[in-house]
């Protein structure tokens, strides 16, 4: 379990808290991490202290689900447990985050993995059939191209004819 040294604003993440994915690589589930921080803040020891983080849940914008965000607040810092050599690598998963900005220096590496356009797609590409066709440049009115029509005037429509 993670812990917080409240007077020193230090969040400690033991290696056992992380998910071992093999090859010296571990994952930090950022949603679980923020839930555990919230529980620590709600405890008797945590109540007098400032918030550790801000959470922005998944957001739907124009039909696209954007990923959650977890922002660890200043003055808190994070230390991943250093068990000596061989060191390990931690990858933050499940949210965009600022863990790299607040991580204390030690030999544990961190893979950030943030994306300005990170979206959540549960199946397929997330595009509708018309969106996929538009992206792939498929035009039903140009189906003749696929049938091997030799008359080039049929292959390239005039610009004013494009939808």
**Which one, of 74, 34, 82, 39, lies nearest residue 57 by Cα?**
34
- Domain range enclosing 136: 129-158
b/e per residue, 15-30, with b = 16+ CB within 10 A? eebbeeeeeeebbbbb
Check residues 36 and 148 and name the one with the higher pLDDT: 36
Instruction: State yes or no: pLDDT of 124 exceeds 70.
Output: no
Query: Is residue 64 within 8 Å of residue 86, measured between CB atoms?
Result: no
Inside any domain, residue 120: no
- Residues 133, 105, single domain; the answer is no
What pTM, to 2 d.p., does this model score?
A: 0.70
* Average pLDDT value for the chain: 85
- Residues 96, 134, single domain; the answer is no
- What proportion of the chain, given as a percentage, has pLDDT over 70? 77
Query: Mean pLDDT across the stretch 114-136?
Result: 70
- Residues 20, 51, single domain; the answer is yes
- Residues 23, 98, single domain; the answer is yes
pLDDT at 62: 86
Inside any domain, residue 13: yes
């Amino acid at each position: 379990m993670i812990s917080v040294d409240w007077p020193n604003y230090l969040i400690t993440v033991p290696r056992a808290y992380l998910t071992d994915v093999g090859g010296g690589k571990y994952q930090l589930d950022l949603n679980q991490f923020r839930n555990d921080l919230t529980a620590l803040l709600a405890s008797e020891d945590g109540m007098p202290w400032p918030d550790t983080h801000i959470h922005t849940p998944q957001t739907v914008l124009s039909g696209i689900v954007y990923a959650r965000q977890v922002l660890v607040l200043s003055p808190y810092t994070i230390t991943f447990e250093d068990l000596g050599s061989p060191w390990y690598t931690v990858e933050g998963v499940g949210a965009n985050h600022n863990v790299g900005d607040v991580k204390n220096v030690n030999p544990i590496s961190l893979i950030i993995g943030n994306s300005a356009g990170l979206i959540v797609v549960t199946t397929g590409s997330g595009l509708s059939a018309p969106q996929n066709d538009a992206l792939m440049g498929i035009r039903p009115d140009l189906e003749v191209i696929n049938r091997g029509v030799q008359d080039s005037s049929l292959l390239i429509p005039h610009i004013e004819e494009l939808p």
